[in-house]
């Protein structure tokens, strides 16, 4: 039946033996893609920040804030393209998934990781290296524990996942309102805490859903695509959790 070849129809909570070697191989492939994507993003971000190439994307200029001149960065035309391109790639992947080959999907995944690295390069100019390292390892520890729980739990997290997705939509709306209207530092802190909790929960939910995909895609042409799509979901969970933790605990440079 056609729906068995499309992992987007997989339902969390399906019984898949934890000792299945095929399942372990599938999940290992997912985590390898995800970790490689995070590593590539980090390398690109550091190279762009330390080489000065970031100035072509985010132009530095002086602005007056609270009566003092401070250095701020505004996106150039190229910067806007780089920031919006990942959204375009995600839409292209989701709408063209069935027509794409696994190789094409791999190229788009690596391209997405590179573009995210370019977009995030300013964090190395905004925050201290110690703060970035602290947020990264904190995110890695939390991600590992939550993903392990999502993989091993017998509880169906479907309803929990639906609630979290609704919360994510509300979080995005609230962040836009705070940037455009309220501009409250306290609200920004509260939203950052909520963001960490939302993506922490999504990490567990997505892990369980990816695990359930295996029973649908094993032995099909969709196997490789499912691994990449699962890796993209976990990659986004990790990156967003890292960024929210950095906003909460990060020490900014002078």
In order of 82, 93, 110, 227, 254, the CA distances from 106 in angstroms are 19, 10, 6, 10, 40
Name the percent of the chain lying above pLDDT 90.
Answer: 74
- Quick check: pTM over 0.75? yes
CA 88 distance to own-chain centroid: 15
pLDDT band at 17 (very low <50, low <70, confident <90, very high): very low
Phi and psi at 65, nearest 5°, equal -140, 125
**pLDDT at 7 exceeding the cut of 50:** no
Per residue in 83-104, pLDDT (tens digit) is 999 999 999 998 999 999 999 9
pLDDT band at 48 (very low <50, low <70, confident <90, very high): very high
Which residues lie below 8 Å from residue 97, measured CB to CB, with a gap of 6+?
8, 105, 225, 229
pLDDT at residue 4, rounded to an integer: 40
Among 53, 10, 34, 45, CA closest to 231: 34
């Amino acid at each position: 039946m056609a729906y068995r070849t499309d992992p987007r129809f997989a339902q969390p909570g399906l019984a898949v033996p934890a000792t299945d070697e095929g399942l372990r191989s599938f999940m290992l492939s997912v985590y390898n893609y995800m970790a490689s994507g995070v590593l590539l993003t980090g390398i690109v971000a550091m190279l762009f920040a330390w080489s000065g190439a970031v100035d072509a994307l985010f132009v530095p200029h002086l602005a007056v804030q609270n009566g003092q001149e401070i250095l701020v960065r505004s996106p150039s035309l190229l910067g806007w393209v780089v920031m919006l391109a990942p959204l375009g790639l995600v839409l292209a992947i989701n709408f063209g998934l069935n027509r794409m080959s696994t190789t094409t999907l791999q190229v788009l995944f690596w391209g997405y990781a590179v573009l995210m690295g370019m977009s995030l390069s300013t964090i190395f100019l905004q925050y201290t290296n110690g703060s970035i390292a602290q947020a990264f390892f904190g995110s890695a520890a939390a991600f590992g524990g939550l993903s392990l729980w999502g993989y091993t739990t017998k509880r169906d997290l479907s309803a929990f996942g639906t609630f979290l997705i609704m919360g994510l939509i509300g979080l995005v709306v609230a962040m836009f309102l705070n940037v455009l209207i309220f501009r409250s530092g306290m609200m920004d802190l509260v939203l950052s805490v909520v963001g960490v909790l939302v993506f922490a929960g999504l990490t567990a939910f997505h892990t369980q859903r990816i695990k359930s995909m295996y029973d649908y895609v094993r032995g099909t042409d969709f196997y490789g695509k499912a691994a990449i799509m699962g890796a993209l979901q976990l990659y986004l969970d990790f990156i967003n959790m890292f960024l929210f933790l950095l906003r909460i605990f990060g020490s900014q440079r002078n």
